[in-house]
């Protein structure tokens, strides 16, 4: 079994639930942390989610397709998500994931800075 080397930090803010993801990324890690985030969103009844990703590595397009499919029925579909990953090399895969998620009814926007992402949720 693969060791999942990531950490989640949650903070309830006035306008949203903030989560910072750090560590190493993989398909198994992505599936795990997005499900943990969905559980926290459901627990708190959050309507807006601010995600800051600080991960080493990424998933493939095929893995992103599977990940979005696995999360399609989750509570995340009904939440406004502002996503920030300042790792420029992850831009293409993040945009691919955003497009897939939004095609399936989600509300995801991607930003280059945390400040822009946070302002979008106000």
Q: What is the pLDDT of residues 79-106, one digit of tens each?
A: 999 999 877 778 899 999 999 999 998 9
CA-nearest of 72, 58, 67 to 102 is 72
Q: What is the number of other CB atoms lying within 10 angstroms of the CB of residue 84?
A: 22
| pLDDT reading at 1 higher than 60 | no
According to DSSP, the residues that pair with 84 across neighbouring strands are 52, 111
Measured distance CA(74)–CA(70) in Å, rounded:
8
Give per-residue pLDDT as tens, 10-56: 999 988 999 999 999 999 999 999 999 999 999 999 999 999 999 99
| Domain 6-120 grouped into CATH 3.30.750.24 | yes
Measured distance CA(48)–CA(41) in Å, rounded:
9
């Amino acid at each position: 079994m693969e060791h999942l080397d990531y950490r989640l930090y949650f903070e309830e803010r006035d306008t949203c639930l903030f989560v910072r993801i750090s560590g190493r990324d993989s398909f198994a890690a992505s599936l795990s942390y997005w499900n943990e985030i969905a559980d926290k969103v459901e627990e708190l009844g959050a309507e807006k989610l601010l995600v800051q990703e600080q991960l080493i590595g990424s998933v493939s397009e095929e893995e992103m397709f599977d990940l979005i499919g696995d999360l399609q029925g989750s509570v995340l579909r009904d939440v406004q998500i502002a996503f920030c990953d300042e790792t420029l090399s992850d831009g293409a895969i993040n945009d691919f994931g955003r497009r897939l998620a939004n095609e399936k009814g989600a509300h995801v926007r991607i930003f280059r800075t945390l400040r822009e992402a946070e302002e979008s949720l106000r």
